[in-house]
Structure 1
Amino acid sequence: MNKIPNRQVICDVLMEHAKTDRDIVVLCSDSRGSASMTPFTEGYPEQFVETGIAEQDLVSISAGMAKAGKKPYAASPACFLSTRSYEQAKVDVAYSNTNVKLIGISGGISYGALGMSHHSAQDFAAMCAIPNMRVYVPSDRHQTRKLMESLVSDEKPAYIRVGRNPVEDIYGEDRVPFEMDRATVISEGTDLAIIACGEMVRPAIQAAELLKERGISAAVLDMYCLKPLDEKAVIAAAEGVKAVITVEEHAPFGGLGAMVSQVLAKNCPRKMDILALPDAPVITGTSKEVFDYYGLNAEGIAKKAMELLVSITHV
């Protein structure tokens, strides 16, 4: 079982590039430990800025440094980075087109028992709504590395959301079919397409395996790139199936499901359903406990898929 969280991979990539690029700077809002950035602060103290618990300052300072030629990576809990500093992300980063990478750590319901104040179930919708802001949700450590390597080499704004805990590998170290801003087709299918992102990709794969045992062929797409959304991949997957399900660690409004439904409604209408967190404060528990409770697991996805397919045959 993998024991390396995605946030640690982000730090590893930045440290590798900071050796030769003195313009790379990491900024934290009293979150170096939570962001797994302590090794960076120890290895490159002159390329680290601590703003304290001041997320608005974190983002604005990052934007100012970018305008001065630096390459800032601002790491802070996703729940705060996507809300407290929303105006700064909108104006100082996106509207001003500054080379700032916003790293939302402990995303979704990663903080578990800390409750709604520490959950980020709105960040997809919020960040995707900002013009000129890209939004990425890598599904495992190998994809996270590929994504960060690509982001290090560009100069455009972006928001990256990762969870707190290690997640099971989906890809291999030497087997990551990664293409920037293109969804990864994990499996093909003829009955149903499951489009997932982040930590929901693994249960989506497992759900497809359960469905296969029941004679149902399910395609699985890893939509790590929420914005720009890979519309061609969505349409291609939908054209060959009867129904589509999206799965995300996010509220049911404005996230992956909403964006996929817009694409389908315009280009390839299909019966679909959105599996997401409820429009309410979620229960208290670990990520697994919360996912299991709301059916955001292999069994829940498979059950919803079968219900959706049955509803089509009864029409």
Structure 2
Amino acid sequence: IGYPHLNVKIGATHGGISVGEDGASHQCCEDFALMRTIPGMVVMSPSDDVEARAMVKAAYEHEGPVYMRFGRSAVPVFHEEDGFTFQIGKGEVLMDGSDVAIIATGLLSYEALEAGKALKEAGISARIINMATIKPLDEELVLKAAQECGKIITCEEHSVIGGLGEAVCALLSEKCPTLVRRIGVNDEFGHSGPAADLLKQFGLSAEHIVEVAKDFCGK
């Protein structure tokens, strides 16, 4: 698909730890990394139902190969369908802030948004960014966040190796050296269990994001 740059759209379901009881053999946490290495492949992961629908339409209109990762578990819908637009390669600021920027993708975008609300109450101003497109990355938005906030936290339901976190780090190391903390699956396989419990166990929750942000900001 990649070499002849075919106009093929891949919709892969059951991605990440939240697959739950099916266990490690079904919990794909390496797909972003694998797909990012294929030249010309667009890699995306929606945060909720509204964004998923808009993403599919954008992928259909895009000329070239696209990989979309969808989860298994139901997630809260926080986008308003009326007026929502989706553009491949563009991130979205969900909450503005200046102390730290939290860049999330997939179901962790909602968790990051909830973390941002809790951090605000704790006196930390967090900029929450929903980065639905992992490749091509919205470099302008990432660099702006790095320059204005000085600290970046990435959040993904994927291995910390090869995914959103490494894409952000690669960009920043070349164009704007910035302190980064990566939240994701730490070079290990998952295991069987209820999805919500597994997400908390692997640190893929608003509570853990808050802990990391507080430590990062020295509060």
TM-score, normalising length: structure 2: 0.96
- The question of 1:209 aligning with 2:126 is answered no
Q: Which residue of 47, 52, 60 maps to 1:139?
A: 47
Q: Structure 1 residue 274 and structure 2 residue 182: aligned? A: yes
Instruction: Flag structure 1 segments of 5+ consecutive residues without an equivalent.
Output: 1-92
Greater Cα offset, 283-292 or 163-172: 283-292
Counterparts in 2 of 1:23-172, with a 5 A limit?
93-172=1-80
Any unmatched runs of 5+ in structure 2?
none
Partner of 2:97: 189
d(CA) in 1 for partners of 2:63, 2:86: 19
Deviation at 1:271, TM superposition (A): 1.2
SS at the partner of 1:118? coil
Q: How many residues align?
A: 219
- Tell me, yes or no, if the aligned pair for 1:177 and 1:184 is still in contact at 8 Å: no
Question: Counterparts in 2 of 1:150-299, with a 5 A limit?
Answer: 150-299=58-207
1:262-302 per-residue CA deviation (whole Å, 9 max, x = no partner) reads 11111111211000012112242122111111221111001
How far apart, CA to CA, are the structure 2 residues paired with 1:306 and 1:147?
33
Amino acid at match of 1:293: Q
Tell me the alpha carbon deviations over residues 186-225 of structure 1, each in whole angstroms, 9 at most, x when there is no partner.
1111100000000100000000001000110000111100
Whose Rg is larger? Answer: 1
Regions of 4+ moved over 3 Å: none
Q: Secondary structure at the match of 2:103?
A: strand
Identity %: 37
Point out which structure has higher relative CO (alpha carbons under 8 A, 6+ apart): 2
2:189 and 2:59 mapped to 1: Cα distance? 33
Instruction: Give the CA RMSD over aligned residues.
Output: 1.3
Greater percentage in helix: 1
CA–CA distance in structure 2, aligned partners of residues 124 and 283 of structure 1: 20
Residue 110 of structure 1: CA displacement? Answer: 3.4
Separation in structure 1 between the aligned mates of residue 77 and residue 112 of structure 2, nearest angstrom: 13
C-alpha contact (below 8 Å) 2:13/2:71 kept by paired residues = yes
**CA shift at 1:133, angstroms?**
0.8
Instruction: Provide the secondary structure at the position in 2 that maps to 1:244.
Output: strand
2:207 partner letter: E
Aligned-pair CA distance for 1:114? 1.8
- Amino acid across the alignment from 1:113: E
CA distance in 2, matches of 1:159, 1:179: 15
